[in-house]
Amino acid sequence: MIAARACANIALVKYWGKRDAALNLPAAGSLSLTLAALVTETSVGFDPALAHDVLVLDGASAPADRVTPFLDLVRAQARVTTRARVVSRNEFPTASGLASSASGFAALALAASRAAGLELDARELSILARRGSGSAARSIYGGFVRMHAGTRADGSDAYAEPIESALADTVRMVIAIVGGGAPKTHGSRDAMEHTAATSPFYSSWIAQVPADLAAAEAALARGDLKSLGEITEANALAMHASAIAARPPVIYWQPATLAALAAVRELRARGRTAWATMDAGPHVKVLTTAAEANEVAHALAAVHGVTDTIVSAAGGPVT
What residues line the site for ligand PMV (CB under 6 A)?
A: 11, 14-16, 30, 101, 133-135, 188-189, 279-280
Separation CA 215–CA 10 (nearest Å) = 18
Task: For the CB of residue 15, give the shortest distance to ligand PMV in the complex, in Å.
Answer: 3
C-beta of 134 vs 155, nearer to ligand PMV? 134
DSSP letters spanning 241-276 = HHHHTSSS------HHHHHHHHHHHHHHHTT---EE
**21 vs 50, beta carbon nearer ligand PMV:** 21
Minimum CB–partner distance for residue 215 and ligand PMV (Å): 17
Query: Looking at beta carbons only, is 134 or 150 nearer to ligand PMV?
Result: 134
Our CB check for ligand PMV shows the closer of 15 and 92 to be: 15
Our measurement of the distance from residue 243's CA atom to the centroid of its chain's CA atoms, rounded to an integer in Å, reads 17
Nearest to 194 by CA among 25, 30, 17, 66: 17
Burial annotation 9-22 (CB, 10 A radius, 16+ → b, else e): bbbbbbbbbbbeee
Q: How far is the CB of 30 from ligand PMV (least distance, A)?
A: 5
CB of 283 to ligand PMV, least distance (A): 11
CB of residue 46 vs ligand PMV: minimum separation in angstroms? Answer: 26
What is the b/e burial string over 164-173, where b = at least 16 CB atoms within 10 angstroms of the residue's CB? Answer: ebebbebbbb
163 forms beta bridges with: 144
Alpha-carbon distance of 255 to 180, in angstroms, equals 11
Shortest distance, CB of residue 181 to ligand PMV, whole angstroms? Answer: 22
- Residue 13 or residue 115: which is nearer to ligand PMV going by CB? 13
Closest separation in Å from C-beta 266 to ligand PMV: 25
User: Across the strands, what pairs with 61?
Assistant: 56
* Residue 257 backbone dihedrals phi, psi, to 5 degrees: -65, -45
CB-wise, 15 or 144, nearer to ligand PMV?
Answer: 15
* Nearest approach, Cβ of residue 187 and ligand PMV (Å): 8
Taking a C-beta distance cutoff of 8 angstroms, is the pair 15, 239 a contact? no
Burial letters 263-272, b for 16+ CB under 10 A, else e: bbeebbeeeb
Q: Which is nearer to ligand PMV, 63 or 271 (CB)?
A: 63
Q: Which is nearer to ligand PMV, 115 or 208 (CB)?
A: 208
Rg (C-alpha) for the chain, rounded Å, is 19
φ/ψ of 108, rounded to 5, equals: -65, -35
CB 314 within 8 A of CB 168: yes
CB of 92 to ligand PMV, least distance (A): 15
Q: Would you say 42 or 267 has its CB closer to ligand PMV?
A: 42
Query: Would you give the end-to-end CA distance of the chain in angstroms?
Result: 15
